[in-house]
């Protein structure tokens, strides 16, 4: 099932399907967020935003408004 990253529960492993076009899409890609990449949702900051994810052994934090551009599947 397709979803965007901001809607994924914690401690899930998901695969990136695509990164939507946005002013920051090249920056998301440069951080390694590319289609086919597996990511794990790790933490939510207090108040639910931003979130922290793990990919290739490093932890990235991103705001929900940034995460919504990332389409993932379980």
Partner 1 sequence: MKIALLGNPNTGKSSVFNLLTGLRQQVGNFPGVTVDKRSGFIQLGQVQHELIDFPGTYSIYPRSKEETVVFDVLSDPGHSQHPDRIIFVVDASNLQRNLLFFTQVYDLGIPCVLVLNMWDLAQKKGITISIEALEKLFPGVPIVQSNARIGLGKDRILKAIDSIKDKNLTSTPFLNSFHLCEIEDVQCQKLEAENRLQKIKTSLTKVVETKVLEGENFSRKIDRILIHPVFGYLIFALVLMVIFQFIFSFANAPMNWIDNLFSHFSIWSSDLIPEGMVNDLISQGIIPGIGGVVVFVPQIAMLFFFISILEESGYLSRVVFIMDRLMRPFGLNGKSVVPLMSSVACAIPGIMATRTISNWKERLITILVAPFMSCSARIPVYTLLISLVIPKMYLFGFINLQGIVLFGLYSLGIVFALLVSFLLKLFIKQKEKGFLLLELPDYKNPRWGNVFINVLEKVKIFILDAGKIILAISIILWFLASFGPDMEGAEHGLSKKRSYQSLSKHEQSIAMDACKLSNSYIGILGKGMEPIIAPLGYDWKIGISLITSFAAREVFVGSLATIYAVQDDGGKQTLLIDRMRNEVKADGSPVFTLASGVSLMVFYVFAMQCMATMAVVKRETNSWKWPLIQLAFMGVLAYFTAWLTFIILS
Give contact residues for partner 1 (rule: CB under 8 A): 19, 21, 23-32, 34, 42-43, 45-50, 52, 56-63, 66
Q: How far is the CB of 52 from partner 1 (least distance, A)?
A: 6
Integer distance in angstroms from the first to the last C-alpha of the chain?
7
DSSP annotation string for 27-51: HHHHTT--TT-EEEEEEE-GGG-SE
Cβ nearer to partner 1, comparing 7 with 29: 29
CB of residue 73 to partner 1, shortest distance in Å: 18
């Amino acid at each position: 099932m397709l979803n965007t990253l901001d809607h994924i529960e914690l401690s899930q492993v998901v695969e990136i399907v695509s990164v939507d076009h946005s002013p920051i899409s090249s920056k998301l890609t440069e951080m390694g967020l590319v289609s086919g990449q597996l990511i794990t949702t790790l933490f939510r900051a207090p108040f639910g935003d931003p979130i922290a994810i793990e990919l290739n052994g490093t932890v990235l934090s991103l705001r929900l408004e940034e995460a919504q551009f990332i389409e993932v599947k379980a």
